[in-house]
Each structure stands twice: as C-alpha cells, then as structure tokens.
Chains A and B, each alone.
Chain A
C-alpha cells in the first residue's frame, strides 16, 4: 500500500529528487537507482505504457522533457491513480516555478520536497487539489 519510493532522474540517470518511504540501506538505494534507470531509459517514450515491473513492485513513471518521475507501488495498487498523482505533482511544480525545468529542481530541491510532502505523507496520497497545495505554498513562503 502506498508508495515505496519516488525518484526523479534525468535521462542520464542523475537523480534530482529521491524520497524513500520504506527503509532501504544506502546500498539498496544505490542499486535501485541503477536498476530503475536501466529499466526506464530502455523503454520507448511514446509507444510503451507508463508501467513496468521491477522485482516485486511496479514502477509507474512519466517523462517530462528530459526528466523522469518514477513512483514504485505494490503490484496490485492502482497504477492509473498513481500516474495521475505524478502528473499532479509535476503540474504543481510547473505552476510554482512558472514553467519548471530540470535546473529549477536542482537548485531548489528543498522546495520540491516541500511540495512532495504536501501531496504525499508517508507514501500515502494526502491532497489532490492543485489550488489547495499552491495556496498553502504561498502562505508558507510569506512566513519566510
């Protein structure tokens, strides 16, 4: 149930965002990054589905320009719902950074995490309204 991890990496496999919702050792994380990249980057962007199995889990992923957003879920979880959730995350980022690009994520990774934490909590979907999330963001920024 819920996400096991959410990773964003570019086509070269450079990780731009990684959030682990389960306990993995340092080495396991490294292994997963490598495996995920190998698997995802070998798939056709347009002709293939957005789902692929990796061992006992299922990766739901989507490519936005040169950046992949990848979520790992249980085999019987609803992949389409999680795909929509990834899309929601990217939409929120896009509006917040006004046309988000890879560099925005690199330099503002801590904001990306905050955004992620407003959508998922402990790997569970928490909020699905773009407006609610963006408003919350503005309020927090006002506090700084």
Chain B
C-alpha cells in the first residue's frame, strides 16, 4: 500500500464536498495509519509521514491515542528532524496521566544532556508540557544542571520547567530555591520571566521558601526600576518598556508582599515599593496619549499596578487616589478592552475604597447599556457592589431597566439580578421607604416573574407578610401582584406568589378592583385559582399552593358556586398520583366544611416570617479563583485583608446548598405548602393551635431555630450547629468576643467542646462554656479574650466536638471575618 503525502491528505480533506465525504476520508486514513503502526516492515519515511498525518488528525479533533508508542519511538531517533517531530507529537498526544509516560524518562534524560542546545530545548519543552510527578522526581537533576549553566536560551526554559516540577512535587522546592538568586541576576528578559514564574510557584507550594522569597523583594523592585529606563527595542512594545516583564514583576511583588506571616520583613520595603509603583503609574499615564498599541501595553501594566496598590495594606493613601484616578481615566476611554479591564479592576478595589469607586458611578452605569455582554456583566456586578442607601433608587431603576431590555433576556443574568435585588430589598437600612420597596417588588415580579426560584418566592412573600395587617400598603401590594398575575399568568414565580397571597389574605383582596375596574369577587378568585392549575399543567408546587389557598378561602368566600368550585378542585386532587398532594387534598377536604370556629384556629394567618438578610452574590466565581490560585487557602483564610473577607463571604454564599441558605424564610413558607412530597412538610414553629392538623403531614422533621442573638458574624454552620462570633469590644491590643453555638436540630447536643487557636503573637483566654449540653433549638455561649499587638488582625482556628443523637462529630474551620484590629 503506497502512502500518500501529508499534503495530499490535507488537500483531499479540504476539498471534500460534504461532511460525509470528509468523514470517510479521515476514517480511511486513520485506519491506514493504525495498520501501518502495527507493521514492522514499514519504511522510515512512511513512519514519519504517518506521524505527521496523525498530528493533522489531532488538529481535526480525531482520536489519536493509538499513536502514542509510535511517537515515543520516533523521538528516540538520533536524527534531529525525527526527534523534533517525535517530541512535538508526544507533547500533543500524550498528557501527564498516561502510563506510557515512563517510557519517556530515558530519552528525556539523554536529550537534556545532549551537546546540541536545540535537542536539550526539545526535551525541556516536552517535560514542561507533560510533567507528571514521577517524571519530576526522575529528571529534576537534569533540569537543575541546565538552570545552573550559562546558556540563556536554555535557562529560561529550564526555569519554567523547574516551576512545573515544584508544582508537581513540592518536596523538590528546596532543590530549586537556591537557583533563584542566580536567575534573578540575569539580564535576559526571557530568563527573568522564567525566574519570576519559579518564584511564584515556589511561593505557592512551599511555605518554607517564603521567608527567603520575601528577602528577594528589593531585588525584584530593582529590576522593575531598571526596566523603566531600559527601552531595549528588542523587548519594548511601541515605546513601552517590555510590558510582559513589567506585568510579571508587579504580579510577583504583589503575591509576596501580601504574605502576612512575613509582614514585618516585607514592611521594610514599603517605601521602595511605593516609589516604584508611583513612578510606573505616572509614567504609564503620560504615554497613554500615544498609539492604541502602546495604550494596550501600558494599560496592562497599569492594571497590575493598581491591583497591587490595593492589595497591599498600609500603603500611602495618596497612591490609592492615584490608582483610582488612573482607573477612572481608563474607564472613560472609548476602547472596549480598556473599559472591560477597568471595570474588572474596579471590582477588586470596590470593597476597599467604595467611595472612590462611587465617584465613577455615572460611567459605570452607562456601561450597563453597552453592546458587549462582557462589559455589561462586569458593569452589573459593579453596580451592585457600589449600591448603598444614598443611591439605591437610581441604581435599582437602572438595573430594572436593564432587566426590561429584551436584549438582556438571558436566564443566568436575570436570575442573578433577581437574586441580588431581592436580597437587597431584605436590608432595611438600605430602603428609602416602604412604598418604594413594594413598587420595586411589583416591578421585579412583572419583569422577572418567570425566573423566580422557590427561594425568591419565599423571600418576596416574607417581605409582604411582614407588612402590618392594618396597613393600607399590604392591601395595595397584594392587589397589585394579583392583578399582574391575573393579566399574564405565564410567569410561574409570580403565579405562586399571587396564589399564596390570595389564600392568605383573601379578605383583603376581595372587593378590590382589577385594572379595568372590575371587582375581584368570590367567583373571579375561584375561577382564577382553578384555571391556573389547568393552565400550568399541574405543576406540583403550584397545585400545593392552590390547594392551601382554596381551603383558606373557604372562610372568606360566601358565594356558593365559588365555594363548590374550590371544594371540587380540592376533591379532584384527593386521587392525585402525587402522594404529597393527595395527603393535603384529603385533609383539606375534611376541613373545608368544618364550622368556622374550628377552622379559624387552623386557617388563621401565618405569623410574619423572619426576613433573612443576605449579601449580594457574585456573577462569576472570580473570588474563589482569586483565593485558590494563591495557594494554601486554608492557611490564608484566617489571614485575609478586608476585601478578601468580603469576597470569601460571597464565595461561601455560593457554595452553601440552597436549602440551608435561608432556613427561616423557606422553611416557614415552603414547608407548609410543602413542595413535592410528605417528607419535606414541616410543622411551623410556635403555632400550637395548628399543630394538631398540620402534624398529619410530617411529624418529627427539624424545626428552625427560634430565637437567636443577633449581631454575631456567622462563622460556620452545618445541619446540626451554627457558630457565630459576636465582637463585644475590640481595641487597645485586646478583644473580647462572644462565641455563640446554636443547636439547629430538634435533639439535644451534648459534650460540646471548643478548641480555639490564635496566631503565635497573640494570647487567648477562654471562659468555660455556658452549657456543654444545648437543648433543641437553643444555644450556648463562651467568651474569648484575645491579647496581642495593637493593630494585628483577629484570626481564629476553631476545632469543636459534639455529640448529637449519639453520634460524635468533629468540625474545624478558620475565621478571620472581623475587620477591626486589636
């Protein structure tokens, strides 16, 4: 069988008229190559062509794993061209998880010691691309040799490979740490890039290296300073001194400088850092008037610099002002890339300097109307971040008009906006007045009622239910929401809300008018409820809501035909195949015709549920990434600066499963009207009159916590306990903090014991725990007294053990969310 050339293969793939043609050509060739690989008599030339074709198949996205061994064979060839092709193919077709990787060890070892630098380079590149922990351990000595040599072309590669090696096996950090000095002394930009990457990797994987790396700060600052003067045309991009190296230098400085353990050590360099950051910022500002290419390059340096300015504590406030102004300038440019990046950077600084970011409100808001989704998303997040009581009206208005714009009809964005707006409305201190709040809710339901989760439905209902009963506002908003659902019943979330309110507050709703002046009568209400059920294809949640409303309305609706409609509806569900619904329907049917005095107790209004205050969530898990990429999260969690704490908060919110997120609101509302089955039904707390009946569905499920001291910062919770810290006094080198441990279950918790550790520089004394046994739905407290250097942060590592229902548990977590310092 004669093999065609690579070129003719590519041509025939390209010229195929149909997809089917193309597939058949590809499959035929793939089969031919596969067969040829098995044949030992194939000529060398053919083997080479086959590997080339294999690579082409790889680019086309075909499976190529069958060629792995063949690639490894080829790279062992003494011929440079074969070797090159073999390595190239190996890098692409193999990854670090492949067993055959061990077959490479010998070739790599030989080639890294080869006299020809290009062959050494091939081996290094391959190792850098597919380094497994085993290869790292087998070959680090070869890499070490190259790093210590004096060939810059190879050194830069070896430094990057060394960085990969220590990432794969942190134990090897001690081998490469001593190489950093020599690498940083090089003037070659490529070597420096590699050296800085090695520094960052060492920093991340090896805590023992950190003290040494911090001592390199002045060296890095010097390089950065020297660079500004060095307009080496080989590296400068349109008149900006090697922006890549500048970015890498600044990024590395930031990483090392924020290390808390060595703050005392790095603090000495603050002034130097301050100078160099100032000069970069002002230098780049001047050149921002030049060509667009130069703008891009200097902007990337500027952004890194600004990020650094804000992540390092205790820098001169003047520098922060300079940083914010620089960002403001970038944001007001017409260049989309700069605006996107500026918004991103603003997001990282908004928690530190909210007021400074506020000043750019108009520009940020105008980005909401941009065409580019990337910019809109960032602007949206930033808008939520700068929202406070002074601008809530105007910002919510902008956000709602964003929601209204059909261009933005994206489910993810909608859900994000709805969640955040609803969370914000739960914060009393932000709300200008109640009327505004409920008009906003009405608008939100109108615009986004199709994207409500059950949590949102509960949150909104909780807000409405908390209006005092005799307030006209309650009547107003109930009527308004009902009208919305009546006019357009295509929005599930809105329907659920309207149905619930109609049942709960039927007396307030009856007698009011619709948009066109038509009175809301018994019949209209009954028809609405029954009609909705058919329209919405028997969604079990909605059916549960309708059933509950129907039985509740039996005390308010007098019209006999309306009553029988409601009753018939309930009756129709007594044979439902959804057992949860069947239980409800059967119970309600009995209840329906009971005398009023019996029903009154059971069907009375629900008490207003607790409104859980929730923070705004973030659109991406940027925060999470930010933290994780900086290495040892566990270690860092306790030692975060203020922003990062806030970011972490967001992250926590994201990861908590929805059902534990707002225990109060959801449980109370969701459960009576129980979503889908008997197992989720829970008796509401403190309603003794109703318990008899409600106990029918769902006996011993957990109750939410009844009363809970407020003001503490939640540090930990699981299904059983919640731990909060309540700072009582902080300052003058000491802090007194109350720990509140709450039992969330209906069973008693025994043998509670807390072990708390603080950083070595601080001293901790604890009172004994108020009660080692916590009764159901109650709590225990314990006071902590921390003494340490004034100005230091409060960081706790907490380990605690307890027994619940005879099962012993141990939990551990870190806490650093107290922003005040000693």
Interface digits, A105-144 against B, CB 8 Å rule (1 contact, 0 not)?
A: 0110110011001000110111111111000100110011
The answer to whether B337 touches A80, judged by C-beta atoms less than 8 angstroms apart, is: yes
Provide the residues of chain A in CB contact with B10, threshold 8 Å. 106-107
The yes or no answer to A44 lying at the interface (CB within 8 A) is: yes
Contact B300 A78 (CB under 8 A): yes
Does A81 have its Cβ within 8 Å of any Cβ on chain B? Answer: yes
Tell yes or no: A38 within 8 A of B by CB: no
Interchain CB contact (< 8 A) of A49 among B200, B242, B340, B626: B340
* Contacts known (A17-B59, A53-B377); A81 close to B247, Cβ less than 8 A: yes
Q: Are B251 and A78 in contact (CB under 8 A)?
A: yes
Q: Give the most central of A15, A53, A81, A129: most B CB within 10 Å.
A: A81
A126 x B336 contact (CB < 8 A): no
The answer for the CA separation of A16 and B197 in the assembled complex, in Å, is: 29
Report A27 CB to chain B, min CB distance, Å: 10
- Contacting B620 at CB < 8 Å: which of A75, A109, A140, A143? A75
Residues 70-88 of A, flagged 1 when their CB comes within 8 A of B and 0 if not, give 0000111011110111000
Task: Decide if A65 is an interface residue (CB 8 Å cutoff).
Answer: no
Check: B194 CB closer than 8 A to any chain A CB.
yes
The reply on B32 being an interface residue by CB < 8 A is: no
Report the Cα distance A16→B626, complex, angstroms.
32
Whether B372 contacts A49 by the Cβ 8 Å rule is yes
B235 at the interface (CB under 8 A from A): yes
Query: Closest A-chain residue to B373, C-beta based?
Result: A52
Report whether B61 and A78 are in contact in the complex, using a CB–CB cutoff of 8 Å: no
Contact A81 B95 (CB under 8 A): no
**B117 to A, closest residue via Cβ:** A139
Q: Are B371 and A44 in contact (CB under 8 A)?
A: yes
Asked if A23 is an interface residue, CB under 8 A from chain B, the answer is yes
At the interface, yes or no: B297 with Cβ under 8 Å from chain A? yes
A83 touches B337 (CB 8 A): yes
Knowing A84-B297, A131-B234, the reply to whether A75 touches B625 (Cβ < 8 A) is: yes
Size band of the B side of the interface? 35 or more
Max chain B Cβ within 10 angstroms of own Cβ: one of A53, A122, A126: A122
Q: Cβ of A67: which chain B residues have Cβ within 8 Å of it?
A: none
Q: How far is the CB of A8 from chain B (nearest CB, A)?
A: 10
Interface residues in A41-95 (C-beta closer than 8 Å to B): 43-44, 47-53, 56, 74-76, 78-81, 83-85
In Å, the complex CA distance between A29 and B64 comes to 13
Q: Mark B179-212, 1 if CB is under 8 A from A, else 0.
A: 0000000000110011001001000000000000
- Complex: how many Å from CA A79 to CA B300? 8
Interface of chain B residues 401 through 453 with chain A (CB within 8 A): none
Of the candidates B58, B153, B620, which one forms a contact with A56 in the assembled complex, judged by CB atoms under 8 Å apart?
Answer: B620
Contacts of A131 in B (CB 8 A): 234
Whole-angstrom distance between the alpha carbons of A46 and B73 in the complex?
47
Give the Cβ gap from B625 to chain A, nearest Cβ, in Å. Answer: 5
Tell me which residues from 2 to 18 in chain A have a Cβ below 8 Å from any Cβ of chain B: 15-18
Complex partner residue of B300 from A47, A75, A84, CB under 8 angstroms: A84
Contact B339 A49 (CB under 8 A): yes
List the interface of chain A (C-beta within 8 A of B): 1, 15-21, 23, 26, 29-30, 33, 43-44, 47-53, 56, 74-76, 78-81, 83-85, 106-107, 109-110, 113-114, 117, 121-122, 124-132, 136, 139-140, 143-144
Q: What are the nearest 4 A-B pairs in CB distance?
A: A80-B300, A49-B336, A122-B128, A48-B372
